[in-house]
């Protein structure tokens, strides 16, 4: 059902009612919160990771065209993620999907919410699935994975190119997930689908590209503003958590052909902002 909103901050909601899924961790399980903060070796782990990114290309590299900032909570389960991102012409030209993710680094279960290009416009939707580790990410299934893979994508809306989208993922005490969406054209959509209740300990603002990029990064493809996460009642920008940038190159070696710029501000609890930078697309 389509609704028109008076302001960008007046957001419609997409509620995902909890249901049982194999391997999912129930929020009612007292071990779930502890489990969520352990797991495989990860590039998104510990204060040293937060201190290491001095600028573009400082983080690990994947080989599947995915870039963004990833943060891991040591304060308990993450219950919310927020971001505003632009649906740019460059994103359309490179078949780039963009949005936010909450993920459990132990089970690999993730909820991804954002937009993918489609015939000159955009489809807003989500992916709820178990992720597997990819090369270069230290065994962490949440980091560097393809964002909004077509095989698992559930579309809930269509929006025009050039819009700015404000997105939110939140998890309630019952385990239900709420996906909230609004664009700068004052359009919103509301749907209800089934979901697996699981605690999340990693958050990401990220993008994936189908185009092949050649050479060093030269320009911004899209940007994120107002990126934040909530854990244990504390809301802050990704720099509040143990955040690292992830970039991509065809070989997994430097220099990156797609990467994320430095978080701004780099410290404190203010909302984070950054750009996704890419090289020249080529065959």
Distances from the Cα of 119 to the Cαs of 115, 122, 159, in angstroms?
13, 8, 11
What integer pLDDT is reported at residue 233 of this predicted model? 87
Asked if omega into 265 is within 30° of 0 (cis), the reply is yes
What value does the mean pLDDT take over residues 166-191? 81
The answer to whether 101 touches 245, Cβ cutoff 8 Å, is no
What integer pLDDT is reported at residue 33 of this predicted model? 35
User: Helix, strand, or coil here: 239?
Assistant: helix
Does the pTM surpass 0.85? The reply is: no
Distances from the Cα of 39 to the Cαs of 35, 161, 175, 188, in angstroms?
8, 39, 21, 37
Residue 276: pLDDT band with limits 50, 70, 90: very high
Task: Report the CATH number at residue 157.
Answer: 2.60.120
Residue 234: inside a domain: yes
pLDDT of 24 over the 50 cut: no
Token digits of residue 124: 């807003």
| Residue whose tokens read 């244990």 | 232
Residue 243: inside a domain: yes
Residue 65: inside a domain: yes
What integer pLDDT is reported at residue 143 of this predicted model? 94
Token digits of residue 36: 């969520």
CA nearest neighbour of 110 among 137, 78, 68: 78
Residue 98: inside a domain: yes
pLDDT of 270 over the 70 cut: no
Residue 26: inside a domain: no
What value does the mean pLDDT take over residues 227-246? 88
Residue 130: inside a domain: yes
Q: Which residue has the higher pLDDT, 282 or 7?
A: 282
Lowest average pLDDT, out of 85-99, 116-130, 261-275, goes to 261-275
Distances from the Cα of 166 to the Cαs of 120, 154, 218, 254, in angstroms?
20, 18, 26, 32
H-helix or E-strand spanning residue 70: strand 66-72
| Domain limits for position 236 | 2-18+59-281
Residue 30: inside a domain: no
What integer pLDDT is reported at residue 42 of this predicted model? 56
Residue 35: inside a domain: no
**Domain count within the chain:** 1
pLDDT in tens, 64-112: 999 999 999 988 899 999 999 999 888 888 888 999 999 999 999 999 9
């Amino acid at each position: 059902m389509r609704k028109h909103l008076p302001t960008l901050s007046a957001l419609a909601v997409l509620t995902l009612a909890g249901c049982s899924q194999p391997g999912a961790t129930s929020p009612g399980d007292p071990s779930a919160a502890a489990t969520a903060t352990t797991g495989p070796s990860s590039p998104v782990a510990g204060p040293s990771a937060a201190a290491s990114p001095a600028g573009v290309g400082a983080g690990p590299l994947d080989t599947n065209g995915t870039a963004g900032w990833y943060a891991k909570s040591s304060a308990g389960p993450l219950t919310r993620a927020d971001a505003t991102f632009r649906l740019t012409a460059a994103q359309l030209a490179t078949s780039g999907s963009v949005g936010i993710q909450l993920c459990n680094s132990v089970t690999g279960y993730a909820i991804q919410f954002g937009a993918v290009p489609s015939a000159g416009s955009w489809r807003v939707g989500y992916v709820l699935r178990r992720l597997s580790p990819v090369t270069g990410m230290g065994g962490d299934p949440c980091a560097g994975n393809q964002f909004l893979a077509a095989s698992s994508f559930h579309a809930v809306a269509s929006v025009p190119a050039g819009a700015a989208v404000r997105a939110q993922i939140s998890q309630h005490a019952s385990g239900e997930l709420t996906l909230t969406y609004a664009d700068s054209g004052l359009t919103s959509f509301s749907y209800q689908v089934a979901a697996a209740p699981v605690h999340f300990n990693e958050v990401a603002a990220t993008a994936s590209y189908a185009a092949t990029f050649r050479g060093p990064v030269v320009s911004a493809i899209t940007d994120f503003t107002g990126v934040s996460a909530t854990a244990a009642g504390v809301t802050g920008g990704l720099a509040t958590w143990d955040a690292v940038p992830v970039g991509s190159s065809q070989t997994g070696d430097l220099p990156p052909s797609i990467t994320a710029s430095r978080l701004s501000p780099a410290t404190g609890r203010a909302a984070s902002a950054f750009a996704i930078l890419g090289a020249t697309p080529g065959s």
